[in-house]
Amino acid sequence: MIDLHLHSTASDGTDTPEELVERGVRQGVRALALTDHDTLSGVSAFLAACRHQGVTGIGGIEISAECEEGSGSLHLLGYGIDPDHPGLQERLARIIESRDWRNQQILAKLQELGLELEWNEVAACAGDDVVGRIHFAQALINRDYVFSTEEAFEQYLGKGGPAYVDRYRLSSADAIRMIREAGGVAVMAHPFSWTSDDADLEAGLRLLKQQGLAGIEAYYSEYEPGQTLTLLRLAKKYDLLVTGGSDYHGLIKPDLEIGRGFGKLCVPDDCLMPLIHRIGEANAQVVLK
């Protein structure tokens, strides 16, 4: 069992990188990848924990991007990226700057809704981590405005909610170029979140392949068998790597488990080595068991 899509407290998850690895080991997962949103800050601790626990680990990232094809949000996973690559750092700094702007807008919206929340309360929930919506949720819980993270997202912070604010995104071409220039492998995350139309998805994949896309996440917690088969067919047709993962965030989705998703997820072990070979076995962002 493997899981190549996990989030930690370095972005919007509720488990530290070390806790992710410990939880994965308890679930019987033999290979894990950390793919936090817009940051690689948790990768070093994550890979160290993988070495300690004796499991295969891959450092990665998840980037939101804009593309003229598709009707939803396009997310790209970058595996094996060099975190010290200067071009990468410059682009991520701009993304983080836009995230800071977004956080202030979220705070203002919550205050306009009559919720007496201050920035220092939210920042305290984040500690040394990048402030994200999960920390706003915790601050709302601390104030007794909501009783759970799920309720905070359903009532206020989720997409379409009264305190939701969108953020800056790279173009798909720029995001894929950034991943590749930093030595990484670009994979399309949860493709049906981008578009639910098979024809639109195939047209988009043709474009993204031209831009340097290397793979597609065919196994995912929310997918039915028919959706997975569609993605496997497209991966074969366009010579794309196949990956999969739970998209585990912790308490945001308490019914979703590492390696097993909502209970039926099973990412085949044979997805692992083609990805590692494409990244390069000697890559410093890969820990081999």
User: What DSSP element (H or E) covers 272?
Assistant: helix 272-279
CB atoms within 10 A of CB 154: 12
Q: What is the mean pLDDT of residues 160-180?
A: 88
Strand partners for 123: none
Range ranked top by mean pLDDT from 123-127, 203-207, 252-256? 203-207
Q: What is the mean pLDDT of residues 14-39?
A: 95
CA distance 168 to 243: 26
Q: Is residue 71 very low, low, confident or very high in pLDDT (cuts 50, 70, 90)?
A: low
Q: What is this structure's pTM?
A: 0.82
CA distance 214 to 184: 10
pLDDT of 77 > 60? The answer is yes
CB 224 within 8 A of CB 196: no
* C-alpha separations of 165 from 100, 102, 108 in Å: 12, 6, 11
Ordered by where they begin, the domains of the chain are 2-92+168-287 (3.20.20.140)
Residue 78: CB partners within 8 Å, gap ≥ 6? 35, 60, 61, 62, 63, 178, 179, 182, 184, 185, 186, 187
CA distance 216 to 235: 7
Closest CA to 180 of 78, 32, 288, 287: 78
Q: What is the mean pLDDT of residues 103-129?
A: 89
Residues above pLDDT 70, as percent of the chain: 97
CB 84 within 8 A of CB 200: no
CB 217 within 8 A of CB 243: yes
CA distance 113 to 158: 15
Q: Is residue 128 very low, low, confident or very high in pLDDT (cuts 50, 70, 90)?
A: low
pLDDT tens digit sequence for 271-282? 999 999 999 988
